[in-house]
Amino acid sequence: MKLVQPKVFMIAETRMIESGMRDWMKHFDAEVWMDQAIGSDAEKVCEAAGRRCYLSFKEGLNANVTRVRKDSEKYHANVLNVKHGSTIEHCTVTFAFENVSRVFTHELVRHRAGCAMSQESLRFVRLTDLKFWMPGIIEEFGEDKALKAAEVFESTVVNLEGVQKELASIFEIDKMTTPEEFATKKKLTSMFRRLAPIGLSTGIVFTANLRAWRHILEMRCSKHAEEEIILVMNQVCEQLKESHPMIFGDFEKDDEGFYTPNYKKV
């Protein structure tokens, strides 16, 4: 058994093709917008998508519009304030989560809309050394109870780790080395996982568009969310605030230390 801490890695995001964007702006005779727009590639793509709705790249393109917001920060703030969320669905960010439990992933995969996920398969990956994250709530009940609870957790996980190894030994799974035997090995591995704890450490790659990420953060950074998913999503929020400040910069920590969006009128 090994105690671990959840880790968050931002591994991919939408890239703007600048030549294509410039050609598109030439179509409207609006190259000036390319010189004005600031932010990450994703923020620029989302801004362009939003401005296309109203032809607001510059004055004069839309007869109904006599004034346009030239400031990208104010533009995004207004989009968030009026909840024109469809414009931020055009771009995605991908995170890899490691040392998270299946408690966490069962919560995470409920967010299906606008998301893609690839999780470690325990039909293929045989369990040997079980990794586990210890919830911090045990510390709130005093050192004595925390120590006793930790002993119960550890002894249980160690026992279940032994069960995995014992089952592998009974069926002599390590002797199955041919391609023909792999199907049997996979079926046995799938059987063994039924005796693994839901708190078992695992890994998942998760992609969501920016609108979906805002929804997920609002739901899962809340004090009402599960402890582990708050811990992980706080890290996601901090990384997105840094990489896409105009779309996620309004997430601020409240007096209790939880991130919440602060929609500002502009």
Q: Give the pLDDT confidence of 198-256 residue by residue, as tens digits.
A: 999 999 999 999 999 999 999 999 999 999 999 999 999 999 999 999 999 999 999 99
Quick: pLDDT tens for 158-197: 999 999 999 999 999 999 999 899 999 999 999 999 999 9
Write the DSSP string, 56-90.
Answer: -SSTTSSTT-S-----HHHHHHHHHHHT-GGGGGS
Would residue 54 count as lying in a domain?
Answer: yes
Per-residue pLDDT, 84? 81
Q: Which of 169, 195, 221 is where one domain is finished? A: 195
Whether 80 and 128 map to the same domain: the answer is no
Would residue 6 count as lying in a domain?
Answer: no
pLDDT band at 26 (very low <50, low <70, confident <90, very high): very high
What CA–CA distances, in Å, run from 135 to 130, 146, 230?
Answer: 16, 10, 11
Q: Which of 46, 70, 89 is where one domain is finished? A: 89
How many structural domains compose the chain?
A: 2
* pLDDT (average), residues 107-129: 90
Would residue 104 count as lying in a domain?
Answer: no
Let me know if 109 is exposed, middle or buried by CB neighbors in 10 A (0-12, 13-18, 19+): middle
* pLDDT (average), residues 108-117: 88
Both structure tokens of 200: 């078992």
Strand partners, 261: 251
DSSP 114: T
Q: Which domain holds residue 39?
A: 14-89
Both structure tokens of 11: 């591994």
Per-residue pLDDT, 82? 85
Percent of the chain with pLDDT strictly greater than 70 = 99
Whether 184 and 128 map to the same domain: the answer is yes
Per-residue pLDDT, 265? 54
What CA–CA distances, in Å, run from 3 to 142, 152, 154?
Answer: 20, 14, 9
Whether 19 and 85 map to the same domain: the answer is yes
Q: Which of 163, 195, 227 is where one domain is finished? A: 195
